Structures are given as C-alpha cells and as structure tokens.
C-alpha cells in the first residue's frame, strides 16, 4: 500500500522477562480519541527507523528511556491495522531510566494487571487497539 502512515507503539511492562503489569495511557486529543486508552507512541518521521521513533516518542510523551524487547507480531510487516491509512508496529518495552509521567498527549497513565484480563479489556481503548491488547494478553499468558 502506498502512503501508509507508520505508527509505533510501546507495550511498556514492569519487566520484559516476567511481565505482570502494562502501562496504558489516556489520550487527550484529537476529539474522537480523547478519553480513550492507547499504547504510548506515535508516527514515524521521514527517514527515521521505527525503533528510534519509539524511543523518541517515549522520551517526549512519558519522559523515560526504555529497553525494547520483542515485537508483538501482527503477521503483517507494516504492523497492526489502525484504519485504512495507518498501521502500528508494537514492541514490548521496560523503563530503564525515569518515572513515566503524562507529559504530552495524555492526561492519565495507569499500570494495569496482565493477570486480570478483565481489567485490561474493560478500559475504553481506541477500538483499533483491542485486537492488539488481546494478542498481548494471550502472549503474556502463554509465556507465563
């Protein structure tokens, strides 16, 4: 597909080796997404590597440095479809420096339990994120 918007997101977990909690972020804009929860991240800039974009976005949005883990594979090179024009690749990440704060684009951060699937799934996620959250829960549960 030409003109696809490449988005990157982080499944920030408390521990890459033994994940038990996931950091969800509540968006403030645009109006159709305000109040919905998402994976922190954003658009990859021209000429930027996806992983570099993710490090940049997490520094800007949360004020943290992270260690990236595996990618949460979607089966498509471009990642998880968000809409007809955008797709998002998602990596596991663990904070290596700093304490996550909602500096930009979010008004709330929440650590949610990965052991309680209901807690994760009951948040009002951006609808396109729900298959990603389900895949993440399945992956973490299988690995446990």
Ligand X SMILES: Nc1nc2c([nH]c(=O)n2[C@H]2C[C@H](O)[C@@H](COP(=O)(O)OP(=O)(O)OP(=O)(O)O)O2)c(=O)[nH]1
- Sites of contact with ligand X (CB under 6 A): 7, 9, 33, 38-39, 41-43, 82, 86, 88, 105, 126, 128-129
CA 94, CA 69: separation in Å to the nearest integer?
8
Least distance in angstroms from the C-beta of 20 to ligand X: 21
Query: Is 50 within 8 Å of 6 (Cβ atoms)?
Result: yes
What minimum distance in Å lies between the beta carbon of 65 and ligand X?
A: 18
Looking at 16-100, which runs of residues are DSSP E strands? 21-27, 37-38, 41-43, 65-71, 80-81, 86-97
Burial of 126 (C-beta count, 10 Å sphere; 0-12/13-18/19+): middle
With CB atoms as reference, the residue minimizing the distance to ligand X is 42
Is the Cβ of residue 38 or residue 114 nearer to ligand X in the bound state?
38
For ligand X, the closer CB: 12 or 18: 12
Pick the closer one to ligand X by CB: 130 or 138. 130
- Considering the complex, what minimum distance in angstroms separates the CB of residue 40 from ligand X? 6
- Separation of alpha carbons 9 and 101, rounded Å: 16
Count of CB atoms situated within 10 Å of the CB of 101 = 12
**Smallest separation (angstroms) from ligand X to the CB of 97:** 21
CB nearer to ligand X: pick between 58 and 95: 58
């Amino acid at each position: 597909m030409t003109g696809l918007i490449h988005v990157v997101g982080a499944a920030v977990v408390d521990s890459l080796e033994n994940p038990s909690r996931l950091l969800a972020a509540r968006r403030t804009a645009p109006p159709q997404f305000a109040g919905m929860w998402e994976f922190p991240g954003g658009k990859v800039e021209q000429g930027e590597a996806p992983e570099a974009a993710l490090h940049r976005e997490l520094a800007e949005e949360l004020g943290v440095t992270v260690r990236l883990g595996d990618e949460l594979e979607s089966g498509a090179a471009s990642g998880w479809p968000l809409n007809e024009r955008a797709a998002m690749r998602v990596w596991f990440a663990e904070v290596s420096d700093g304490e996550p704060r909602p500096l930009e684009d979010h008004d709330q951060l929440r650590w949610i339990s990965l052991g309680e699937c209901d807690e994760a799934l009951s948040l009002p996620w951006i609808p396109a994120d729900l298959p990603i959250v389900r895949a993440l829960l399945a992956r973490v549960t299988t690995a446990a």
